[in-house]
Chain A
């Protein structure tokens, strides 16, 4: 069922991680990703892993939720792993049959690449699990604010993003419903070739689009009647304010990156 999708879900909570300013979390996530791609040695990986593990522990997000978020991407992880396994040449040959040779270096790279992708996703999942979509867009809007000077419609983009996020569950539910309704009239979404399948989607897509437009129209009216008139003169209930914990967290992030770079230099 479509409604089982958990990607991008927010788990409300009141932990240190939840309370961090969304900007801090966004910057930290970026620092974390940079560190992840900088770490090419064991110690570096271990450090990045430790950072994530501690963050998850503090956030009290259950490991199960992180794992279920990783599940949809398992195929990508596997393919990346396998490709690296077969195509990396090195010095220590492990297995050789037919035209395929697997080197120790290949195994190493495959494991690292798979690990890297999983850590990357787990990190971003932690961000979305602990930050409400609205905070996230607020944080982005605030971080991107300087771009307003070069006429980037930052407020509008952030508003669009948060509305899109708000309507994803609604539209997923609607998709489910229309699909069931059409299946009740004998529609078949599963069998047939690619073209048949694409054609079979029309009875789903057309009502979905019509409904999305209707919703957009009604929402626009509702927003206007709540005095929405763009970003001009708008205030926010939840002010973004950097607290001491935010600076501390950022310091930890900088330390992480510095150590990872150091390890890379030292090659340990």
Chain B
């Protein structure tokens, strides 16, 4: 199957040709199949944000290429523009990009840029607003009068209204409290729709990554250092820590138990898995 997104030896240098030149991505090969749910992690400056900005053609590679449905994103201006809409990208702290007089018009900004008919725009705006849980009555309010959490929802609706086949999010839950994080993750999972759409998101929370994603891609120094199922990634806990990534607390406890000489599976990362792993340990029981 042709991957929906693919990068081939993707390299990006910032400030090319100046004394400040810096390689952000170094020959990255990556591909995502339709319907995947991928979490991207890595410490600040590992290149992950630069990476996702290539996936919808916002940044042009210094060398190498980005393919959408097997076709080079920058093969023509027309195609690049199409990809911009088919791969929706939500930036970090997206509430700071709101600018319209009303919530409605802000959400409509993307669809209008797609040159859709008015009734189509209207349908999409209402659908997207409903999707993120914004009430009808809010549509005519000024986005600047909303609370932080509501603003973020408006911003997300603004991307969802373009109905992208691939949704990419840069730390969508940053700065939210646990309740807000939970709601937002549910929205994203719902957009994924059991694999009808593709989702790629950057997160610093390994717990979130572990809970939701089917695949975790770890960036380090402009390279992909690991790429696999959560369990396979967490099995390399010590390496992750060396890369400046904080592993889930549960994983740390299990790693420590192993150090102390207990033969348990230390690639687990949720409470339930930990219980199962402890029970599966030699002797089985635990009813002390």
Contacts and interface: CB of A to CB of B under 8 A. Distances in A.
Do chains A and B make direct contact within the complex (CB under 8 angstroms)?
Answer: yes
Interface of A: 1, 3-4, 6, 62, 64-65, 68, 174, 177-178, 180-188, 202-203, 206-207, 210-211
A187 B84 CA distance: 10
Nearest to B53: A180
Contact of B14 (A1, A174, A202): A1
Given A178-B97, A180-B53, A210-B144, A185 B113 contact: yes
B30 interface: no
Interface string B139-162: 000001000000000000011001
B15 A3 contact: yes
Interface residues of B, number: 28
B99 A184 contact: no
B98 interface: yes
Contact of B96 (A64, A186, A211): A211
Contacts of A3: 15
B58 interface: yes
Given A206-B99, A207-B97, A184 B19 contact: no
A182 to B, nearest CB: 6
A185 B158 contact: yes
A186 B144 contact: no
A188 B89 contact: no
Contacts, number: 64
A3 B53 CA distance: 17
B280 to A, nearest CB: 46
Contacts of B113: 185-188
Contacts of A185: 109-110, 113, 158-159, 162
Nearest to A180: B58
Contacts of B97: 178, 181-182, 203, 207
A261 B199 CA distance: 72
Contacts of A187: 109, 113
Contacts of A184: 56, 58, 84, 88-91, 159
A22 to B, nearest CB: 25
A186 B114 CA distance: 7
A178 B99 CA distance: 10
Query: Which of A174, A181, A210 has the most CB atoms of chain B within a 10 A radius of its CB?
Result: A181
A4 B110 contact: no
B49 to A, nearest CB: 10
Query: Which of B56, B84, B85 has the most CB atoms of chain A within a 10 A radius of its CB?
Result: B84
A177 B99 contact: no
